[in-house]
Amino acid sequence: MSDSRMSGSRWTTFKRSPFLPATVLLLLISAAAGLFAGSYTYAMANPTPHSIPAAVTGPYDRPPARPFIAGMEHALSASLKLHPYPNRAAAVRAVNQQRVFAVVGAPTGNGPVRMDVSAASGATVAQILGEAAVSVGRATGTAVVLHDLKPLQKGDPRGLAIFYISLAAVVIGFIGAIQLSVHAKALNPLERIAFTVGYALLGGFTIAAVVDWWLGALRLPFVESWLILALTMFTSGMVFTMFNTMFGRWAMLPTWGLMVLLGNPSSGGAVSWPLLPSALGTIGRWLPPGASVNAQHTAVYFRGDQHAFPFLVLAGWSVLACAIFLVWRHRHPGGRPTGPAQEVGA
């Protein structure tokens, strides 16, 4: 037998063996490990401000406020995107509506500049602004009064608990769908969706109960937080199911890429969006992890100012995933025969 025939025979044998998919998985897992570390390091390791929305009141275009604001921009190596408001009450309202991250109050006379930050709006942003305000005040000889409008809860001093519970909902959401596809493969489409709803509701309740009732890390508006977590888990599970319909056994790749490599670092949960690379800060709000963090963050710290946008994002991904799954359900690697065919084969 010639060398070429022997080589062809070995390749054919290799392709038909379990070693080919195992080798492909080995390479993909290795690449995923590097991408996972890289995406989180790129987004979170060195948060840098780019443009921070801030409210201003009073005569901010003359001393002492003007040199103070200029000094802040120099110290931050970023611009403060200033939004003038007629009074402090209106500016604080803008903070509650999450339009701005701080309020700079310019004095009408020789009084101090008032710097109101909001740790609940973004702990990292508040920390950076507070440190810069003290430093700039000393450098410019400006008296500065620093105040936190919305402190974080005592059980969550770094403001990461919301990110963690949202991350749990995202990851367990698609892991649940994976387990259904492996251990309950015979479920038909509507049954699969029903069980996804079931584990999302129960899982969301469990996450909220553990964090609030058991650990006491966050005081949650329980029903609202529970339903946000449940919607997040359902969306995540159906996203995997959609990709399972489109790509079969390789569905984990786009799910991991969308939800974990891209979605979680850009969610604004660990690092607020003004400190993220600008593209990530924009994209993150349109992905399920970012929408979940935004909805949960508002529910916990800004009750009464909830926005429809994050719920529309989660609902949109859910509807898209369910539609693709149901329309192309014949391509999904699960289900069982129904109707007369099933009775004949029984």
pLDDT digits (tens, 9 = 90+) for 217-237: 999 999 999 999 999 999 999
What DSSP character marks residue 274?
G
Q: What 3-state class would DSSP assign to 340?
A: helix
- Give the domains, in start order, of the chain with CATH numbers: 51-148 (3.40.190), 160-331 (no CATH)
Cα(243)–Cα(287) distance, integer angstroms: 15
Residue with tokens 């698609």: 174
Cα(116)–Cα(106) distance, integer angstroms: 11
Residue with tokens 């519970």: 165
Tell me which H or E stretch contains 114. Answer: strand 113-117
pLDDT digits (tens, 9 = 90+) for 165-206: 999 999 999 999 999 998 998 899 999 999 999 999 999 999
116 DSSP β-pair partners: 103, 147
The pTM of this model reads: 0.87
Q: What is the DSSP string of 147-184?
A: EESSPPPTT-TTS-HHHHHHHHHHHHHHHHHHHHHHHS
Burial (CB < 10 A; 0-12, 13-18, 19+), residue 224, is middle
pLDDT of 345 reads 35
Cα(107)–Cα(125) distance, integer angstroms: 24
What DSSP character marks residue 339?
T
* Nearest Cα residue to 174 out of 155, 205, 153, 200: 200
Q: Which two tokens stand for residue 331?
A: 């391509």
Cα(161)–Cα(229) distance, integer angstroms: 13
Q: Which two tokens stand for residue 10?
A: 């070995």
Q: What angle do CA 217, 221, 227 make, to 5 degrees?
A: 105
Task: pLDDT tens for the chain, 346 residues: list them.
Answer: 455 555 567 777 767 777 777 787 788 778 777 877 776 676 666 667 778 999 999 998 888 889 999 999 888 887 788 999 999 999 999 999 999 999 999 988 778 999 999 999 989 899 999 999 999 999 988 899 999 999 999 988 888 999 999 999 999 999 999 999 989 988 999 999 999 999 999 999 999 999 999 999 999 999 999 999 999 999 999 999 999 999 988 898 899 999 998 999 899 888 888 888 778 888 999 999 999 999 999 999 998 889 999 999 999 999 999 999 999 988 887 766 655 544 433 3
CB 205 within 8 A of CB 226: yes
Cα(2)–Cα(21) distance, integer angstroms: 28
CB 250 within 8 A of CB 184: no
